[in-house]
Structure 1
Amino acid sequence: MSYRQQVCLILLLVAPLFSWAGNIDITTLQTPVEIWDFAERLTTPRNTTVEDIANSHNWKSVDRETPGRGFSKQTEWLRFNVSNSSDQKKRMRFFWHHAQIGSSNIYLRDTKTGDWLPTIHLSSLTPIEDRPYRGRMLEWYVDLPANSEYQLLLSAESNFSMSFRILAGNEADLGRIAGDTYNSTYLFIGFILALVLYNAALALSTKESGYWFYIFYITMVSLYTLSLRGFLFEWHWYSDPIWEQRVVLFLAPLSLIFALLFADNILRIKYQPALFKFVFRFCLFAQFIMLAVAAYPSIDIFVSLFAPLSIVVVVFMLSSSAWVILHKGYYAILFFLGWLALLLGIAGHQYSIIIGVGTELLGRESLKTGTALEAIFLSWAMALRVQRLRKEHEALRKQHTQSLQEMNEQLADKLELEQELNNQKNELLNIISHELKTPLNIVYSAIDLLRENPSSEHIRDLAYGSDRLRRNVDNLVLLSELNTQKLRVNYQYFSIQNLLSALNETAEVTRKADQQWKLISNVSPEYRIYSDERLLTILLENIVENAFKFSPRGIIKAVVWVETTNGQDDRMIWNIEDDGIGIPEDKQTKVFDLFFQMDHGKTRGAEGMGIGLPLAAEIIKRLYGKITLESIPHKGTLVHLEYPSAAPNLEQQRVPIGLPGNKERCVLVVEDNHINAKVLVRLMEQMHYQVVIADNGAKAVDLAANRHFDLILMDIQMPVMDGFEATRQIRALGFEGIIIAITANDTSEDRNNAQQSGMDDFLGKPIRFQQLKTKLRSFNL
């Protein structure tokens, strides 16, 4: 070993012998001092005896070290000297204002004699050897005899981070500091209590649930602050220091739970982006988990989990309030400032523990100050939000009042309109009753007269009544289809003779003795129209009937022709003209309105329900045509009609060819009503048909399978099997003859279903003989 190495070894062995702690002399002490500046420290395994510590040579100076200590599984020791150089006995007082320890033992030894003194007392004045003290606020004192010097050794163990910011001084100075601490605490409690009572009064008066979340949160965080400082233990809320640790652990997540619920209420997190809602649910769930973890015997897991989770909550609170601020929720500025104040208070508190600062306000009061500022800002934010809600509620109330007034006005208008509609409905029902009963009365009267005195005049009256009744029913059925939006245009080919015959028959039964009817057709009798025969028939019959109604003595003339474009039949034109009373100019635009009547009441000059021309206008629109009206009062009216009469780019439908006229033809009449069947039999026998009757669809299928028929007249609504299904099955047998539907269900939907099932044509009841002959003639039958 070299000389230099030997010198270094000697210095290392001798140095501990000259190591000594700093001395605090109560005689020269003017103000309280921190013992950290005079102490040495030592870290040992737990359960090390004080005798081993006193004789250890491993003590180190605390120079350039902070008084804070992180989490440790070992025992931390401090050593320093206290002395009294005066000739009088003096008391030195110590104040450890935030020990945050699990256990602490204080030992005193006379440096001159080496004796250990058992006279150290804590705040309870209980000898240290009788009960190792556990708590967060420690006070003790040492009575120093005249001209004495003692060595003080302090041990501390904790599952938390520890701070050795211990003040030493005379009893008066430290009593003042302790008193200031208690006074500030009572001031804090009074301030928080005032805010809680104030917000409780607002909660009861406004019924706003957000106040209660605020009250619970502020109460929990205040209790957490007081418990963290050790005051709850000092005030004997619990006697076991172990409970003090558990209360702190439970209050921490409980405070954050109420904080999150309060934030949800005031910041309306449910209206924020999905990320904020997810983080909110995560934080709330995590704090409930932390409540369960707080009951776990070891607090290491709680401490390691709660620290990062609490940071997530704080960041979420600040971010969520910032989002509300950006969306013009300016009351959230105070919410942001409140959480920022609490964050700064916690940071100052922890900084004073770990690093140590000279300002006692930051050292002792930062946590309470931050909590109090947060309580103010959050209460202010809540007040602004409630004020905003009141303004919104007031605006909504005014809007609701205005809407209610508007609704009342609309309701009054609707009631007035409903009353008017009721009047119109009653008038319409009276008109319909009149228009249905009048022709029915004619039918009954003519039948009675025929029984007494058969004559052609009575037969003509009977025909007029039944035809008028049939037209009224057709109009009402068509009106129902329009109202229920079930009207469908069924395009098919049919002969123009069908229209001409229908108009001639209508004119024949409608005209009076002093009325004349002229029908001029410039169209070939063989011309076939591609359109809806039923709708065109109703259209033309209504216009012709109106012409007869308003021309009591005159001529009604109808002219029809076809305009040809590029060699193809394009549009069919009708001019229906009368020389009657005409229509006043101010009413010409209203005649196409539903239920419009030229005259009202019981003195009406003309009959009718007021639906003929409106139905005509609606039909011509569905057929892609147009209708115009020209009228001069007292001179007459001209109605002009145009509509497509041929299918573009379609070949004419093949006309089925019947049997030669000299061969007797056979027809199957399928009808469940025996009276209707009897009438059809007589009509067909007059046309020299052999007739077979079936009273339901199933029998018709059996007959068609075993016999030959040239024609089938098929009812639709029958028992056992309806006409649609019977037609489908007959066509499936290979039947190629003519099947014509004869039914009272004369709607566009029924016509379309008949066509889909395989029927060739459609006749609505009641059946007129001339109409039936014309229909069969179109099939060469």
Structure 2
Amino acid sequence: MVIISITIITIAPAYASPYSITPIELSTIELPISGNLIEKGRLYYNPSNQPPNWDAPAAFLEQLKPVNDINIKGGDFWLNLSVKNATEVERWSIKVDGSFIEHIQAFIFTHSAIQGMDHNQPRLVEFPKGGQFDGGDYLHHYGMDISLTPNANYDIWVNLQSSYFTASPHVQIFTTKDFANDVNKNNFLIVGCLGSILILALYNFLIYLWTQAKEYLFYSAYLISTLAGWAAVFGIFSHFFNSNSIALIMLPFYTNIIFNVYFYQHFLDLPEKHPLMSKLSYGIVGICLVLMATYRFTPEWISYVFINVVNSIWLVTGLFCGIRRLQDGYKPARFFVLGFSTVFIGGSFIILPYFGFPRFVKEAYLVALIGQTLDVLFLALALADRINNLRKEKEIALKLAHSIEKTANQTLTAANNKLLDALHIAAQNQRQKDEFLIAVSHELRTPLNAITASLSQLRHSNEPSEQQNLQNYIQFGTERLAAQVENIVILAELDEENITPQEETFSARELLEELEEMAQGYLIEKDIVFKTVKSSSVSDYYTGDRHLLVRMLAPIIDNACKYTTSGNINLQLADKWGNLIFEVIDSGPGIPADRQEGIFDSFMQVSSGYQRDHEGLGLGLAISKRIAELLDASIEFDVVIPHGCHCIITLPIRKQENAPQHSTHNIQTAHALIVEDNKVNAKVLQTLLAKLGVSADVAENGLIALNVTDHNHYDLIFMDLQMPKMDGFAATESMRSKGITTPVIAVTANSDYKSRKRCAEVGMNDFLAKPIKKSTLLQSIKRWVG
């Protein structure tokens, strides 16, 4: 075992100062010894920064100030050790680590007797150097070889001089053999790390030249800056190029941050994915540029503080950005996070001791270099992972493109087939349209012919029976013409996608009377009995869309009247479980089994062509079916009856328990206002009202009606919708805004859904579609006056 005896001599300070220490008793330490010898020897500060004159050292020794620790702000510090080599080993090495130090020199004194001197007077035998800029014996390390004669006593003074310190240094003494082995191992790691960084830098720069992807350029620049910074830290520039520049040590760590920020900005797509983090990262770049510009005007120890602070911010920010992108699902960020984690941990071993934390590892700079080497390796893996992802995305995109192309071809083929089908259907529709127009012309001209021909004969007829027959023909033609026009209008109306039922309260009895009157008009010239039967379960009043209900039932009743040639037709009404049940039973030919599925199609009749048995457009039941769907009703045909037809209509509807309250004014004394721009229509309506006992004034448009209602009282107002100067809608709105509450009944040829809905919105009370029947008019008057 190697044994060294170190004698520590106590020197009491001559004055109290920040550098004073408690006197230490003389003690002997046997080596090998572990730990920091600064804690075991005597440490002094040289305020004059003047080198000693060892021939007359008294003045130098007197001005030294004892201190507890080395000040990181820099200065000239001296460590005094008294050593006795109690071993047979002569070659020893003084190792200094844990901090950047510009100059280190050891002075070895022996206690051998010299002629003319006191035998206790030390004699200087060696003074090796080993600092950053001293060109020491060991590459990448602070070390000095010394010779210590076995069993001899020595005084050793170690001078540590630097403009700043990165942490409190550690001073140790090893055998030269052990120290050389340790240096060789460390140098192997240092050269391996720096070589790996250099190779990756060149490789990624070549990738940049090939791909022109900026992240590879910034990654290469980051690697070169990292290589330059660590090469300066481990003394490569001072050893091989005799460079004493501290700037070569500090500035590369600023450019290292700058290029790394630009790298991860592109690699992580921060400007697009996280703009705020991108701006913060660019702010770090701005700080680095400012600190680089002001470096020459800043003391070195303050510059090192700035480097530590900026490095800490950069490491935390980069790590946070990587974690955020990893949370976003960006897989290459996993290697980025690993890389930043290693450099974060390695950097902590250097940064934390500077701020007073204890030293966790012996070779902090080597550990930090290894951490940053792992960082660049992980970043290289991240780039490779990104390339792999891009390749996979490209393959997926190609597969998707092939799939889309295949689908597009299939779609094109299907579209061409559909186009051919559409052309065929269009041709069929064109034929159907032509047939429809021919049928419309026939169905409108036929009743019109009955009307005009009968009117012409009526003028020249004097026989009462003949006149009655002609009047019946006119009524039949009118009913038939009105029904066909109404079918066409309601068909167009049902094409509105936003059509909704308009609820109103109506009388079940009046509804049956209207349907019976309609049927009687269809059955002129036929010896058929039409009978209505109302069950006792039916309430007096219901709430629903009366207009759509009539239009749904009319084609069914029309078909029953049309196809029945003898016998009778019954319309039965019952109320079961909240539903109104209409049953139309006739003794006609019925519906053949093979035609029952298609009877609800448009333009469909049981017989067709020039030899068809019955008139009509073939729209009736199609209209009934569509209205039934709108009202949530159902239409069924009872096929049990062997002869005739039994149609069942089920309509969900709400009962109105309380009968609507209307005026009790006597109809015979009622006075009405007719607002109509067509003089003939106005005169016809005025005559109808007169026969019912209702007097009426006429206003030619809405503007005149407003003036008239300001000075006269009316029990009813019959309002046309389309008029010059002011239409019926605007006139009604103005009346309601003035507080006129007189019932307003729309009388118009516009019987479509939009018109009826608008009438209700502006405040009209009722709606009568032209041509007006006397019975319908009477019901409306009774509803609002009688």
- Both proteins in one fold, TM over 0.5: yes
Q: Partner of 2:226 in structure 1? A: 221
Native 8 Å contact 1:122 1:139 kept in 2? yes
Native 8 Å contact 2:231 2:237 kept in 1? yes
Shift of 1:713: 0.9
The TM-score normalised by the length of structure 1 is: 0.68
Native 8 Å contact 1:669 1:681 kept in 2? yes
Q: SS at 2:73's partner residue?
A: coil
Q: Partner of 1:374 in structure 2? A: 375
Q: 2:484 aligns with which of 440, 462, 469?
A: 469
Q: Partner of 2:591 in structure 1? A: 583
Q: 1:652 aligns with which of 638, 650, 659?
A: 659
Structure 2 counterpart of 1:542, one-letter code? P
Native 8 Å contact 2:73 2:301 kept in 1? no
Q: 2:701 aligns with which of 696, 701, 704?
A: 696
Q: Partner of 2:151 in structure 1? A: none
**Are residue 496 (structure 1) and residue 509 (structure 2) matched?**
yes
Q: SS at 2:100's partner residue?
A: coil
Q: SS at 1:241's partner residue?
A: coil
Shift of 1:394: 3.9
**Are residue 257 (structure 1) and residue 270 (structure 2) matched?**
no
Shift of 1:535: 1.6
Q: Partner of 1:539 in structure 2? A: 552
Native 8 Å contact 1:670 1:693 kept in 2? yes
Q: SS at 2:196's partner residue?
A: helix
Structure 2 counterpart of 1:540, one-letter code? L
| Matches of 1:672 and 1:240, distance apart in 2 | 109
| Matches of 1:350 and 1:735, distance apart in 2 | 89
Native 8 Å contact 2:218 2:259 kept in 1? no
Structure 2 counterpart of 1:473, one-letter code? I
Q: Partner of 1:131 in structure 2? A: none
**Are residue 706 (structure 1) and residue 721 (structure 2) matched?**
no
**Are residue 636 (structure 1) and residue 638 (structure 2) matched?**
no
Q: SS at 2:308's partner residue?
A: helix
Q: How does 1:222-301 map to 2 (within 5 A)?
A: 222-231=227-236, 241=245, 243-254=247-258, 257-258=261-262, 261=265, 264=268, 285-286=283-284, 288-296=286-294, 297-298=298-299, 300-301=301-302
Shift of 1:46: 5.3
The change in CA–CA distance for 1:226 and 1:640 in structure 2 (over 3 A counts) is: same
| Matches of 2:634 and 2:589, distance apart in 1 | 24
Q: Partner of 1:518 in structure 2? A: 530
Native 8 Å contact 1:39 1:61 kept in 2? no
| Matches of 2:266 and 2:211, distance apart in 1 | 16
The change in CA–CA distance for 1:323 and 1:451 in structure 2 (over 3 A counts) is: closer
The change in CA–CA distance for 1:202 and 1:110 in structure 2 (over 3 A counts) is: closer
**Are residue 772 (structure 1) and residue 772 (structure 2) matched?**
no
Q: Partner of 1:145 in structure 2? A: none
| Matches of 1:692 and 1:463, distance apart in 2 | 27
**Are residue 44 (structure 1) and residue 43 (structure 2) matched?**
no
**Are residue 763 (structure 1) and residue 765 (structure 2) matched?**
no
Q: Partner of 1:100 in structure 2? A: 100
Structure 2 counterpart of 1:656, one-letter code? S
The TM-score normalised by the length of structure 2 is: 0.68
Native 8 Å contact 2:450 2:474 kept in 1? yes
Q: How does 1:37-186 map to 2 (within 5 A)?
A: 42-45=44-47, 47-48=49-50, 50-51=52-53, 54-55=57-58, 56-57=60-61, 71-77=72-78, 100-101=100-101, 104=103, 156-161=161-166
| Matches of 2:284 and 2:256, distance apart in 1 | 12
| Matches of 1:766 and 1:523, distance apart in 2 | 31
Q: Deviations over 1:519-556 (max 9, x none)?
A: 3344799965554331222112121223345x274556
**Aligned residue pairs: how many?**
709
Q: Deviations over 1:542-584 (max 9, x none)?
A: 21223345x274556132344599xxxx765432234445434
The change in CA–CA distance for 1:110 and 1:300 in structure 2 (over 3 A counts) is: closer
Q: SS at 2:638's partner residue?
A: strand
Q: Deviations over 1:149-202 (max 9, x none)?
A: 9999856222342658799999xx999999999998776555334323444565
| Matches of 1:356 and 1:505, distance apart in 2 | 107
Native 8 Å contact 1:290 1:302 kept in 2? no
Structure 2 counterpart of 1:746, one-letter code? S
The change in CA–CA distance for 1:281 and 1:235 in structure 2 (over 3 A counts) is: farther
| Matches of 1:318 and 1:462, distance apart in 2 | 90
Q: Partner of 1:194 in structure 2? A: 199
Structure 2 counterpart of 1:491, one-letter code? E
Q: SS at 2:72's partner residue?
A: coil
RCO greater where, 1 or 2, for CA within 8 Å and sep 6 or more?
1
The change in CA–CA distance for 1:499 and 1:383 in structure 2 (over 3 A counts) is: same
| Matches of 1:125 and 1:485, distance apart in 2 | 90
Q: SS at 2:666's partner residue?
A: coil
Tell me the C-alpha RMSD between the 2 structures.
Answer: 6.2
- What 5-or-longer segments of structure 1 have no aligned partner? 1-8, 20-33, 82-91, 128-134, 143-148, 272-276
Shift of 1:347: 6.7
Shift of 1:284: 6.5
| Matches of 1:427 and 1:587, distance apart in 2 | 21
The change in CA–CA distance for 1:725 and 1:714 in structure 2 (over 3 A counts) is: same
| Matches of 1:589 and 1:207, distance apart in 2 | 71
| Matches of 1:264 and 1:279, distance apart in 2 | 11
Q: SS at 1:222's partner residue?
A: helix
Native 8 Å contact 2:633 2:652 kept in 1? yes
Q: Which 10-residue stretch deviates more, 387-396 or 470-479?
A: 387-396
| Matches of 1:108 and 1:645, distance apart in 2 | 115
Q: How does 1:245-644 map to 2 (within 5 A)?
A: 245-254=249-258, 257-258=261-262, 261=265, 264=268, 285-286=283-284, 288-296=286-294, 297-298=298-299, 300-304=301-305, 306-307=307-308, 310-311=311-312, 314=315, 334-335=335-336, 338-339=339-340, 341-342=342-343, 346=347, 366-388=367-389, 390-391=391-392, 394-395=395-396, 398=399, 402=403, 420=422, 426=430, 429-430=433-434, 433-434=437-438, 436-442=440-446, 449=453, 456=470, 459=474, 462-463=477-478, 466-480=481-495, 483-494=496-507, 496-497=509-510, 499-505=512-518, 508=521, 510=522, 516=528, 518-522=530-534, 530-548=543-561, 551=563, 553-554=565-566, 557-563=569-575, 572-585=580-593, 588-592=596-600, 612-620=620-628, 626-631=634-639, 635-643=643-651
| Matches of 1:368 and 1:125, distance apart in 2 | 21
Q: Deviations over 1:394-424 (max 9, x none)?
A: 4565467557756775776677668557568
Q: SS at 1:520's partner residue?
A: strand
